[in-house]
């Protein structure tokens, strides 16, 4: 039986999802951008490509597909299998923490644990959510973290920066889609430099932190993402050093920096032995997210050499 004759034996939505999951597994795809397994990935791609809701009741999985629908599903599955293009780029959108974001190759596919944490915030320091009135998101990419803050901190004005003008085009579209254009403002430029001259109660950032030499070893899917969003220099800390040294000047006296450093956690602790990082635990097991208070960051002004 040829490949296409075999595919003609796939009749229902369930048949296609089951076949896709097997083929994805054989192709050793990476599931790190929206799902974490082959079956969920096949279900997501099949439903979204047919404009069906992702929570489609199971009874409809027995529905037979029209010839043109089968072609659509086959085409998108084959792109995923042969080219390893992330599902979020094939579909032009992703869901995280129940929020939908437009995504394309101009921005990193949002997957930070900060999105879920900040959309329903319980902060690991003593503060009332209502008292947080200003937030800065540095390296906003698709705008996902800034938008999560918009939901979690309805009283806050949110400023977000990115060095990539292309990423900010996508971020603005997402902010419009979430109706937050009066709450969130974007500024293009290097880290905190383009922000207006105010102090923030919270600075949040998921900067690039992959070691340059590790980028080529990332799964093929990640290599569709902008290198600028991933490359953290020789030890992963190039952007993080500058962020740590600059943040205190932009924080209120009681303000905090909430920082995702992922796999650069160990290198960061080694580089700043005197900084009292508070590392957070997440239900899903994510690691590499820490908090520093403004007064702790000010220690760096006294230890000029640290991390340099």
Ligand X SMILES: C[S@@+](CC[C@H](N)C(=O)[O-])C[C@H]1O[C@@H](n2cnc3c(N)ncnc32)[C@H](O)[C@@H]1O
Binding flag, residue 161, ligand X (CB under 6 A) = yes
| 3-class SS of residue 235 | coil
CB of 269 to ligand X, least distance (A): 20
Cβ atoms of 123 and 129 within 8 Å: the answer is yes
Applying CB under 6 A, which part among 41-49, 84-92, 155-163, 195-203 lies near ligand X? 155-163
Decide: helix, strand or coil at residue 113.
Answer: helix
Q: How far is the CB of 84 from ligand X (least distance, A)?
A: 20
Compute the radius of gyration of the chain from its Cα atoms: 21
The closest of 181, 113, 184, 173 to 142, measured between CA atoms, is 173
Can residue 139 be called a binding residue for ligand X (CB under 6 A)? Answer: yes
Q: Note the helical H segments in the chain.
A: 3-7, 13-26, 38-49, 67-83, 87-91, 113-119, 144-152, 165-177, 227-230, 238-247, 265-271, 294-297, 299-302
Measured distance CA(32)–CA(222) in Å, rounded: 9
Among 11-19, 40-48, 71-79, 141-149, which window interacts with ligand X (CB under 6 A)? Answer: 141-149
Number of residues in contact with ligand X, rule: CB under 6 A?
Answer: 23
Contacts of 280 (CB under 8 A, 6+ apart): 117, 124, 289, 290, 291
Minimal distance, residue 145 CB to ligand X, in Å: 5
Least separation in angstroms between CB 190 and ligand X = 5
Report the C-alpha gap between 47 and 60 in whole angstroms: 11
Binding segment for ligand X (CB under 6 A), chosen from 4-12, 84-92, 137-145, 274-282, is 137-145
Q: Does 71 bind ligand X (CB under 6 A)?
A: no
Give whichever of 107 and 134 is closer to ligand X, judged by the CB atom.
107
Subset of 239-278 contacting ligand X (CB under 6 A): 239
CB 170 within 8 A of CB 103: yes
Q: Which of 228, 271, 293, 299 binds ligand X (CB under 6 A)?
A: 228
144 touches ligand X by CB under 6 A: yes
Bridge partner list, 127: none
Min separation Cβ 240 and ligand X, Å: 11
CB of 143 to ligand X, least distance (A): 8
Token readout for 173 is 């579209």
Closest CB to ligand X among 108 and 297? 108
By beta-carbon proximity to ligand X, the closer residue of 258 and 300 is 258
**Site track 185-214 with ligand X (rule: CB under 6 A), x = hit:** -----xx--------------xxx------
* Antiparallel, parallel or unpaired: β 99-102 and 184-188: unpaired
Interacting residue ranges for ligand X, rule: CB under 6 A: 107-108, 110, 112, 139-142, 144-145, 161-164, 167, 190-191, 206-208, 228-229, 239
């Amino acid at each position: 039986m040829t490949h296409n004759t075999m595919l003609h034996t796939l009749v229902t939505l369930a048949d296609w999802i089951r076949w896709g999951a097997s083929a994805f597994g054989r192709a050793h795809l990476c599931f790190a951008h929206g799902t974490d397994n082959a079956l969920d990935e096949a279900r997501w791609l099949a439903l979204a490509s047919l404009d069906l809701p992702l929570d489609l009741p199971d009874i409809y999985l027995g529905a037979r597909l029209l010839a043109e629908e089968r072609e659509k599903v086959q085409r998108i599955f084959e792109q995923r299998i042969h080219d390893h293009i992330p599902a979020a780029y094939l579909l032009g959108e992703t869901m995280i923490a129940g929020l939908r974001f437009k995504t394309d190759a101009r921005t990193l596919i949002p997957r930070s644990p900060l999105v879920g944490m900040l959309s329903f915030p319980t902060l690991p320091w003593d503060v009332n959510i209502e008292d947080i009135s200003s937030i800065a998101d540095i390296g906003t990419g698709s705008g996902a973290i800034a938008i999560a803050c918009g939901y979690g901190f309805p009283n806050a004005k949110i400023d977000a920066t990115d060095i990539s003008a292309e990423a900010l085009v996508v971020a603005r579209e997402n902010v419009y889609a979430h109706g937050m254009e009066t709450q969130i403002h974007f500024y293009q430029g290097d880290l905190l430099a383009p922000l207006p001259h105010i102090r923030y109660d919270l600075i949040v950032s998921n900067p690039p932190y992959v070691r340059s030499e590790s980028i080529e070893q990332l799964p093929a899917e990640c290599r569709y993402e902008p290198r600028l969003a991933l490359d953290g220099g020789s030890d992963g800390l190039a952007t993080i050093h500058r962020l740590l040294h600059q943040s205190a000047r932009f924080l209120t006296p009681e303000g905090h920096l909430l920082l995702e450093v992922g796999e650069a956690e160990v290198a960061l602790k080694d580089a700043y032995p005197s900084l009292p990082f508070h590392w957070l635990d997440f239900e899903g097991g994510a690691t590499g997210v820490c908090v520093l208070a403004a007064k702790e960051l000010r220690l760096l002004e006294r230890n000029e050499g640290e991390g340099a």
